[in-house]
């Protein structure tokens, strides 16, 4: 039980709270005892003062020693104290010394006695007694002596036994408060952590839809929020993995089936003379598709793993884009092609890129645009300097567009928004994923905007070939570029 986080948190919180409350109880008890002692001291002092007034009145009417003895004896019994009457010389009156023993039984303050102070002075006799001294003023206004009221310390300063009821009430209240506060804070802290732990168990069992509430702005809320983000990414990665396996299996099964069928016909001799060439053509065409798929997979893997190094050099985009467009048109031969436009201005700054990888990215985007753009449409390449040290390149077409629900997934491996049109055309479904890796390898970002029926625009950023940027990128190979600004 003590191995769980909640149990340890409960115990630690309760112990900390208990220590704090015990300190409060100790301080409260000390204050209570001191307050009770002060009250009892004040009561004894007032008693001494009243007796002194009675003795002064007795002296004023010339009362005898018997009356004084009677007054003192009655006060002793009622107050359960010892009362001693001393003269101005500090010596007990006749009868008091014999009755009370030696003068060491009491102690008085001679200076207060000489000054005939009206205030009552409490003197600590020893560990057992308190002495309360009240002056006698006499009949002629001169100090006539003092009344000493001697009380036991135990009667003045209460012990814990006398405060047992109060102490027990306070202790029970403290324990209840301790349990309430400790358990409340413990469970309020541990409850979201327990939810996160249960969610991780469910995720480990394959439930990637699990989420935990993330309320507030504290560390635990931040942890829950980060867990939900992780769950989203794991769920997305799992979906991509499933799609990857399904798409690779499909893309390989179809050409392998055709290769197997036509090759079997050639081996069996069932193919006629006219069918041999056709069978060889089919086998060659499907082999090329598989080869293209394997090459794209290897290329994407090298880019994602960082094994593909970038040989970056300053590049003028306008002639580079024009040369690429000319080669694309020549490669299509007699096939009709939508209009290709080069809108890269001659004043566009040089960029610091790997020419081979940039061509691959641009060619993937242009091929994609041509595939979905009608013959009367157009594909336009543009470039604009943005921010500080960045150039934004765009490929815009007037084709069919991409549905809004597919925009967030077009850069995933094998994801196709129109699954009925790409497989037969030899498209591997990896082109846009390769574009993203190439752009991010240069430190840039790629994004897509599209409207169904009006066209699609892909934009990505690459660094300018300025001395400042080249210095930042060449000092630490492989170090991420600063975040590009977007217009």
Whichever domain contains 39, its CATH number is 3.30.450.20
| Co-location of 374 and 286 in the same domain | no
State how far the Cα of 92 lies from the Cα of 115, in Å rounded to an integer: 18
| Co-location of 268 and 320 in the same domain | no
Write down which residue in 114, 131, 164 finishes a domain.
Answer: 164
| Co-location of 328 and 287 in the same domain | no
Please identify which residue in the block is written with the tokens 């409060």: 24
| Co-location of 409 and 380 in the same domain | yes
Burial of 356 (0-12, 13-18, 19+ CB in 10 A): exposed
Q: CA of 470: how far to CAs of 41, 348, 351, 474, in Å?
A: 88, 17, 10, 6
Give the domain range for residue 66.
Answer: 5-164
Helices in 135-272 by DSSP H: which ranges? 153-156, 164-204, 219-268
State how far the Cα of 173 lies from the Cα of 486, in Å rounded to an integer: 63
Residue 54 lies in a domain: yes
Residue 208 lies in a domain: no
Residue 320 lies in a domain: yes
What is residue 288's predicted lDDT score, i.e. its pLDDT? Answer: 79
Residue 391 lies in a domain: yes
Q: CA of 163: how far to CAs of 20, 29, 30, 159, in Å?
A: 22, 9, 11, 7
Maximal C-alpha separation, the chain: 162
What is residue 121's predicted lDDT score, i.e. its pLDDT? Answer: 55
| Co-location of 257 and 372 in the same domain | no
Retrieve residue 301's tokens. Answer: 């893997």
Residue 345 lies in a domain: yes
Q: What is the DSSP string of 103-126?
A: GGG----HHHHHHT-SS-EEEE-S
pTM for this one?
0.48
Residue 174 lies in a domain: no
State how far the Cα of 169 lies from the Cα of 340, in Å rounded to an integer: 91
Residue 200 lies in a domain: no
Domains identified in the chain, total number: 3
State how far the Cα of 196 lies from the Cα of 481, in Å rounded to an integer: 35
Per-residue pLDDT of the chain (487 residues; tens, 9 = 90+): 455 666 666 677 677 777 777 787 778 778 877 888 888 888 888 888 888 888 888 877 777 778 888 888 888 888 888 888 877 776 777 555 544 444 455 566 666 666 555 445 555 555 677 888 888 876 666 667 888 888 887 777 776 566 667 667 777 887 787 778 777 777 777 777 788 888 888 888 888 888 888 776 777 778 888 888 888 888 877 777 776 677 667 667 777 887 888 787 777 777 777 777 787 887 887 787 777 777 777 777 777 767 677 889 999 999 999 999 999 888 888 778 899 999 999 899 999 999 999 999 999 999 989 988 999 999 999 999 998 889 999 999 999 899 988 888 888 877 766 554 444 455 567 888 889 989 999 999 999 999 998 999 999 999 998 655 444 444 333 333 344 333 3
| Co-location of 382 and 304 in the same domain | no
CB 92 within 8 A of CB 100: yes
Residue 18 lies in a domain: yes
CATH at residue 300 = 1.10.287.130
């Amino acid at each position: 039980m003590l191995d769980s986080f909640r149990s340890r948190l409960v115990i630690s919180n309760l112990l900390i709270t208990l220590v704090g409350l015990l300190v409060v109880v100790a301080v409260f008890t000390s204050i209570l005892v001191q307050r009770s002692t002060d009250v009892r001291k004040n009561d004894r002092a007032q008693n001494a003062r009243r007796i002194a007034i009675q003795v002064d009145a007795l002296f004023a009417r010339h009362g005898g020693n018997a009356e004084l003895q009677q007054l003192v004896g009655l006060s002793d019994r009622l107050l359960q104290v010892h009362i001693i009457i001393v003269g101005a010389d500090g010596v007990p009156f006749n009868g008091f010394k014999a009755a009370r023993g030696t003068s060491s039984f009491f102690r008085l303050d001679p200076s207060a006695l000489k000054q005939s102070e009206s205030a009552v002075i409490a003197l600590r006799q020893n560990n057992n007694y308190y002495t309360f001294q009240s002056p006698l003023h006499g009949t002629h206004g001169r100090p006539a002596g003092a009344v000493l009221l001697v009380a036991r310390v135990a009667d003045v300063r209460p012990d814990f036994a006398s405060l047992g009821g109060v102490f027990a009430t306070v202790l029970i209240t403290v324990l209840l408060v301790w349990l309430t506060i400790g358990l409340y804070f413990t469970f309020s802290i541990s409850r979201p952590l327990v939810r996160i732990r249960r969610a991780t168990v469910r995720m480990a069992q394959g439930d990637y839809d699990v989420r935990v509430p993330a309320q507030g702005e504290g560390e635990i809320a931040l942890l829950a929020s980060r867990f939900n983000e992780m769950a989203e990414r794991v769920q997305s990665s799992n979906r991509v993995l499933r799609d990857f396996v399904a798409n690779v299996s499909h893309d390989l099964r179809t050409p392998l089936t055709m290769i197997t069928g036509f090759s079997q016909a050639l081996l069996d001799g069932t193919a006629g003379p006219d069918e041999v060439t056709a069978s060889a053509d089919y086998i060659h065409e499907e082999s090329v598709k598989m080869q293209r798929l394997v090459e794209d997979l290897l290329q994407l893997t090298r880019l994602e793993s960082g094994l593909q190094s970038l040989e970056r050099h300053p590049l003028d985009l306008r002639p580079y884009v024009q040369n690429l467009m000319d080669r694309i048109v020549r490669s299509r031969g007699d096939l009709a092609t939508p209009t290709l436009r080069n809108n890269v201005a001659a004043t566009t700054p040089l960029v610091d890129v790997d020419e081979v990888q940039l061509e691959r990215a641009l060619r993937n985007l242009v091929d994609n645009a041509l595939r979905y753009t009608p013959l009367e449409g157009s594909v336009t390449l543009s470039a604009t300097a943005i921010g500080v040290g960045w150039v934004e390149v765009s490929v815009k077409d007037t084709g069919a567009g991409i549905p809004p629900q597919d925009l967030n997934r077009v850069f995933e491996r094998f994801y196709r928004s129109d699954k009925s049109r790409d497989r037969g055309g030899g498209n591997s479904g990896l082109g846009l994923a390769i574009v993203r890796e190439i752009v991010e390898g240069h430190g840039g970002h790629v994004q897509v905007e599209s409207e169904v029926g009006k066209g699609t625009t892909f934009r990505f950023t690459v660094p300018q070939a300025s001395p400042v940027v080249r210095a930042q990128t060449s000092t630490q190979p492989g170090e991420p570029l600063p975040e590009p600004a977007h217009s």
